[in-house]
Structure 1
Amino acid sequence: MVVNWQESLGEAVKALGALAKGNPGIMDGYKALDGAGSAHGALDLKTRELISLAVAATTRCDTCIAVHAKAAAEAGASREELLEALAVAITLNTGAAFVYSSRILEAYDTFSKK
């Protein structure tokens, strides 16, 4: 195992707890936002967790990965479903790099004109 995800999650919970204790308003604000974003409606919990993991891949958040991998497994997400969600994240990141590469080329061309 490259990362001990259970240990990482425990350490993150402690660190975030210390932050919340030092500034309770931060935790209150986060809980309000999380509650609003977690309201169950059109998407079931498993789908929401798969989306969360795809986003965690694009934002590169190890704590998000640990939290949502655990939640996705508990929600009954299959490995195949996770692989499909991650394929979407990978494709989107590739597309974004392609689009931004064209923007970079345009910016370069603008600045290199004499």
Structure 2
Amino acid sequence: MAWSEKLNDTRDRLRNLNKAMPETAKAFGALSKTVKEGGVLEFKTKEFVALGIAVATKCDACIALHIEALVRTGASREEISDVLAMSIQMGGGPSMMYAAKALNCFEELSV
């Protein structure tokens, strides 16, 4: 499945889940907004952290969403690669496999 299709599928599944539990979805959305807008780190840096966690926890949907956000911030292939290298150092072989997926996602979505 192409990464753009994965993003669409993820959003469809999240919309369905959000309808099933609107109060939880609203609370999670508020948390997400607060975390992304508050604090001392810039949004791009926070998305790099989220990408590293997505790779380490092996979440394809999370990889796609955070790569998409990083593409919008203007993240470079070199920056993405640096984050992926750190993810591999922390997560070993399984993270290396998901780092390869994340780089593929970046290359597809940044075109």
How does the TM-score come out when normalised to structure 2?
Answer: 0.75
Q: Is residue 2:26 matched to residue 1:25?
A: no
Q: 2:51–2:66: 8 Å Cα contact kept in structure 1?
A: yes
The one-letter code matched in structure 2 to 1:73 is: V
CA distance in 2, matches of 1:42, 1:78: 22
- Residue of 77, 85, 95 corresponding to 1:79: 77
CA distance in 2, matches of 1:45, 1:31: 16
Q: 1:53–1:64: 8 Å Cα contact kept in structure 2?
A: yes
Give the share of equivalent positions with the same residue, in percent: 36
The CA deviation at 1:44 is 1.7
CA distance in 2, matches of 1:36, 1:61: 23
Q: Return the structure number with greater relative CO, CA threshold 8 A, min gap 6.
A: 2
Q: 2:37–2:43: 8 Å Cα contact kept in structure 1?
A: no
How does the TM-score come out when normalised to structure 1?
Answer: 0.73
Counterpart residue number, 2:101: none
Q: 1:50–1:77: 8 Å Cα contact kept in structure 2?
A: no
Counterpart residue number, 1:46: 44
TM alignment of 1:58-73, pairs within 5 A: 58-73=56-71
User: What is the aligned-residue RMSD (CA, Å)?
Assistant: 1.4
The CA deviation at 1:45 is 2.0
SS class of match (2:37): coil
Counterpart residue number, 1:7: 5
